[in-house]
């Protein structure tokens, strides 16, 4: 058992594609891509699946052969983000703690739908005497820790996901064979981000994080077998930026986001 298997969800997206590119270049590594779109690459094992489809996702995972896998890695960068302004979303005004189900499911249930059958298969291998290790890697935003009200559904989903991964990694049942990783990133230059914020200035965008940097800085952490739980931040340094000051100034955040999204006139 000396083969590594890396499963990348959202493999057709900007970040997922960078991880796929990295893994296919690694020796003795099988790369599995889960995506709603078919990839052009013939170097990966592909499953076209919607991760919100629990049955379809389970059937895809059940097809994987883990018998010769020594280390299994799941990189999960899937999840929708939504800007939520209480004034423009009346249904949220009535309950300030209401969470958007679509945002939550896309960030949390897509992960659980992959991990549940994966852990079941891993447990079967362990019962046969195998010692396959598993790395579970999720992603969030550096701003999550500030509990920004305008994306509370996203933050709640990510916090729930953090706990899920952390609990699995620290479970005594797995005897240290599962490790959890969480990568917090700053604004990343992806197709979705560009669609969401079309009015970003050239100056602002030069400090957007490139997917390649996320891969480069996260892989040593993902590959390391210890500690069982680790959370890191990956970001571009914006000169003069004070996170404590900025993330607690809700009016400034609101103005910037609505300008970048084209909701207000420039």
Angle at 143 between CA 140 and CA 149, to 5 degrees: 105
Enumerate the domain spans of the chain: 3-260
Topology of domain 3-260 in CATH is Rossmann fold (3.40.50)
Separation of alpha carbons 3 and 111, rounded Å: 23
Q: Which has more pLDDT, 104 or 94?
A: 104
Tell whether the model's pLDDT for residue 90 goes beyond 90.
Answer: no
Backbone torsion region of residue 251, taken as left when φ is above 0, otherwise alpha when ψ lies between -120 and 50, otherwise beta:
alpha
124: closest CA among 59, 166, 57, 67? Answer: 67
Neighbours of 33 (CB within 10 A): 27
Tell whether pTM > 0.75.
yes
* CA-CA-CA-CA torsion sign (207, 84, 106, 224): positive
Query: DSSP 3-state assignment of 134?
Result: strand
Separation of alpha carbons 161 and 166, rounded Å: 8
Tell whether the model's pLDDT for residue 87 goes beyond 70.
Answer: no
Q: Which residues pair with 182 in a beta bridge?
A: 138, 231
pLDDT for 266:
53
Q: Are strands 3-9 and 133-141 parallel, antiparallel or unpaired?
A: unpaired
- Across the chain, what does the average pLDDT equal? 92
Q: Which has more pLDDT, 1 or 98?
A: 98
The model's pLDDT over 20-42, given as tens digits with 9 standing for 90+, comes to 999 999 999 999 999 998 887 77
The model's pLDDT over 180-205, given as tens digits with 9 standing for 90+, comes to 999 999 999 999 999 999 999 999 99
Tell whether the model's pLDDT for residue 98 goes beyond 90.
Answer: no
pLDDT for 265:
64
Token pair in block for residue 149: 């009200």
Q: C-alpha distances in angstroms, 176 versus 77, 99, 144, 225?
A: 24, 33, 27, 9
Separation of alpha carbons 102 and 58, rounded Å: 20
């Amino acid at each position: 058992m000396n083969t590594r298997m890396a499963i990348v969800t959202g493999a057709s997206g900007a970040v997922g594609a960078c991880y796929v590119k990295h893994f296919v270049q690694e020796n003795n590594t099988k790369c599995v891509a889960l995506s709603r779109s078919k990839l052009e690459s013939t170097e990966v094992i592909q499953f076209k699946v919607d991760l919100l489809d629990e049955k379809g996702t389970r059937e895809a995972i059940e097809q994987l052969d883990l018998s010769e896998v020594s280390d299994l890695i799941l990189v999960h960068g899937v999840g929708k983000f939504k800007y939520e302004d209480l004034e423009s979303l009346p249904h949220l005004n009535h309950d300030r703690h209401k969470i958007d189900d679509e945002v939550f499911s896309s960030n949390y249930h897509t992960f659980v739908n992959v991990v549940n059958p994966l852990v079941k298969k891993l447990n079967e291998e362990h019962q046969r005497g195998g010692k396959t290790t598993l790395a579970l890697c999720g992603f969030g935003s550096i701003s999550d820790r500030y509990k920004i009200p305008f994306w509370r559904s996203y933050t709640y989903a990510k916090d729930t996901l953090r706990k899920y991964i952390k609990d699995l990694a620290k479970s005594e049942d797995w005897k240290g064979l599962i490790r959890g990783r969480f990568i917090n990133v700053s604004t990343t230059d992806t197709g979705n981000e560009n669609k969401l914020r079309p009015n970003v200035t050239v100056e602002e965008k030069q400090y957007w994080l490139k997917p390649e940097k996320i891969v480069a800085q996260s892989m040593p952490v993902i590959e390391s077998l210890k500690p069982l739980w680790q959370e890191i931040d990956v970001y571009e340094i914006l000169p003069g930026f004070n996170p404590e000051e900025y993330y607690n100034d809700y009016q400034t955040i609101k103005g910037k986001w609505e300008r970048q999204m084209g909701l207000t006139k420039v």
